[in-house]
Amino acid sequence: MELKYIIKTIAAEWLKIKNLGLVYLAIIIGLFVPALVLVSSVFIETMQQYSGIEKSAVMNSIERNLSAFGGFFLLLFIIIAATRIAQTDHKNNGWIFMESQPVSRLSIYTGKFITLVFLSIIAILSYLIFSIIISLLSKVIFEQENLSTQIPVAWLFHTFIRLFVACLGIISLQMMLSILIRGFIWPFLIGVFGLIVNFAGLLRKETYDYFVYNNLSTSLSISNSSQLNSYFNYTEYLSVMWAALFFVIGYLFYSRRGFKNAFIKTPKAIIFSCIGLLFFGGMYYFITKPNYPHKLENKTIIEGKIKSNTPIEKAILYTYSLNEKVAEIPIENGKFYWETQDDISFEPYFLDFNKKNYAFILSKGDHIQLNVNNDPINFSVDMKGSRKAEKEFQNMAQQENSYFYWYIVNGKKFTNEPEKFYQEAKKEWESNKKFIKNYRTHENIYFSEDFRSAKIQEAAVKMLDAIADYQRMTSTSDTKFAPPQAFKEELETLLMQPEHILLISDSYNQWKLKSLLPQQGSHNPDSIIFNELVKLPAGNQKDNLLKNQLLNFFNKTHNEAERNQIFSTYQTHFQDKKYVDFIQNELIVINNQQKGKAMPQLILEDESGASSGLDKFLGKFVVIDFWATWCAPCKISSPVFEHQARLYKSLDDIVFLAVSVDEDKQKWELDIKNKSSNVSQFWLKNQSVLPQMGINQIPRFILIDKEGKIYNAKMPNPQESNFEEILNQLSTTSIFSVEF
């Protein structure tokens, strides 16, 4: 019976909103973002292009704009629509008329709520439909090769459901506020305040589970639904909980005419209110409780799918520290699976997919799931499983820097004010500990305990290193500049049992090596460090420290004979032979890269198929850019390399070469076809020379002198200022260039 009345009230509400234009506004809201992107693309050339992994044009458009639509436009529409639906009856006393009809107050309240739900659905469907139409239109107009016309129906449905569920809590809250508060302005301002808090959370990179409006933004921060560990994010469950809570509060408040009558007037009301608070409080706790990764019993699994234009038969798992092969994982029908019961040490690893690498953290008990996409230009991997939080943290940490390290430490501040220095140091330390302890992804996934412990230890190493540098810069003997004892002891205690991943990290090993030197400094630090290392007990820590010290010595010593002699002297002090093999291979590469060493013979093919070597450029300095068509960073550096070639083209004694290391020559030929360039383009035929030069990552820039010998084996990227500084030292001819 109640359902019949609810349907009646919905029909009545729908008639009333016809004159409010809310349906048209919902359609326009959905159209606005896709249309704006299309119009902008006409005038902004970079928006016409797409150079990412091959995917659906529809998926690319929706994924790129979903956060802007849902986090701002849809949210703003819900705020406006809820206020308009309720305020129409507030103004004309429509409540009195409705309550005089043979319908219950539950039907009236539910009718308004469902009407707002329908309007939100219209806005969401409008956005999805117009995104499909306009993305396909853009594909036709701008001929975006890597985008297909496929319509991913299952993905669209998943995205629609997530977006709809994620906004239910806000719908319920705004409807409650709009019905209970007479007047347009306050419900509207509360909603706008929610928008502002969302922007603040975005800027501060914070998530507020307790704040209803922020749940939608958190949900939409993962715009690609297929990247979720589960079908729904925890924020969607929170939204359903908020929707139920505010619906109950709003209905009871409205039907019983006030807070007191609804919740505390009678003992029965108080009991039910307490039960309700406990229920929803328990739901909130259950939904938002930390989601720690599940570890497998006595086994480790890596599995996934790969979509590739070229056949890839296997993926090879290596350790990141020593490039030690761990396993070969066969790929069949686009799928791969590897399981082992062996002990897997806790450290970084990488999977090699035919020279394209993906790095991640791994230890025994982990279950890693990868979705790999590979085309001639791009390589991307979506990761799920037990190390997802660690991977997201590492990606974020590469862009982070703090006020303390960037401004105070690097800027050498407070050299005469140790109290201020250590005050800022302790503040930074406490902030780092709190951040690492509380870090979680937008899926509410926390670190595994081993990684959390390692990151806190790593932060302790960084702080101790900063303190040691500060004391060396000021005074190592004056107690005035010594750190507070309790502070130093806390940091050192954390490092008494370092995690294995810390032992192999460069930051830890460099700090340990520096700590072997006397505080007052030394004129022969390498000799002191080697002597101290020899005294250490055999083991993993000694092997890692000796490895780092040898590589440090090799990289700053220009005498090949001296490098070889030092290696011969200390190789017997390693306990594990794999370290000796690794360093020996590194030594060969370093020797091959030494300034004045003859450049290995390169067999270069030009567009016509003619072969030549570097000897044709004798008498000139040669700047070589090793690149490939599939290398995304190469696409960024290549235009700058072209610009540098234009700057120096007036000099007869410098030539710029772009040497492709593509295995498939045809891909290189297609890429440079009909492309004008100031750089001579070649394809490298004998790619076996690359490991000899240590060229395992591209882009890589090498400078050859006029005699065909190595001048600089590790040239900076052309974007860096010292790239030009090195070239300017080669010629006495001044360079003056004006570009219009």
Q: How far is CA 483 from the centre of its chain?
A: 35
Antiparallel, parallel or unpaired: β 654-660 and 621-627? parallel
* CA–CA gap between residue 34 and residue 394 (Å, rounded): 33
DSSP string, 326-385: EEEEEEETTEEEEEE-S---SEEEEEEETTEEEEEEE-TT-EEEEEEEE-SS-EEEEEEE
CA atoms lying within 13 Å on the CB side of residue 232 = 16
Q: Strand pairing partners for 340?
A: 300
Non-local CB neighbours of 304 within 8 Å, separated by 6+ positions: 335, 336, 368, 369, 370, 371, 372
Please identify which of the residues 75, 85, 252, 631 carries the catalytic annotation: 631
* CA–CA gap between residue 507 and residue 678 (Å, rounded): 41
What is the four-CA torsion angle of 539, 541, 544, 549, rounded to 10 degrees?
A: -110
Q: Annotated catalytic, 631?
A: yes
- In angstroms, the first-to-last Cα distance of the chain is 78
Check if the beta carbon of residue 167 is closer than 8 Å to that of residue 75.
yes
Q: How far is CA 390 from the centre of its chain?
A: 11
- Long-range pairs for 306-309: beta carbons < 8 A, 24 or more residues apart: 306/331, 306/334, 306/335, 306/336, 306/353, 306/372, 306/373, 306/374, 307/334, 307/372, 307/373, 307/374, 308/334, 308/353, 308/372, 308/373, 308/374, 308/375, 309/54, 309/374, 309/375, 309/376
* Residue 371: φ, ψ to 5°: -120, 105
Judged by phi (left if over 0) then psi (alpha if -120 to 50, else beta), residue 143 lies in: left
The CA-based angle 316-552-412, given to 5 degrees, is 115
Check if the beta carbon of residue 218 is closer than 8 Å to that of residue 442.
yes
* CA–CA gap between residue 433 and residue 371 (Å, rounded): 33
Please identify which of the residues 114, 634, 679, 690 carries the catalytic annotation: 634
Q: Annotated catalytic, 634?
A: yes
Sheet holding 367-374, edge to edge: 356-362, 347-353, 314-319, 325-332, 335-340, 300-308, 367-374, 379-385
The 3-class secondary structure across 635-668, one letter per residue, is HHHHHHHHHHHHHCCCCCCEEEEEEECCCCHHHH
Which uninterrupted H or E stretch holds 624? strand 621-627
Q: How far is CA 643 from CA 646, 657, 677, in A?
A: 5, 13, 10
| Catalytic (active-site) positions | 631, 634
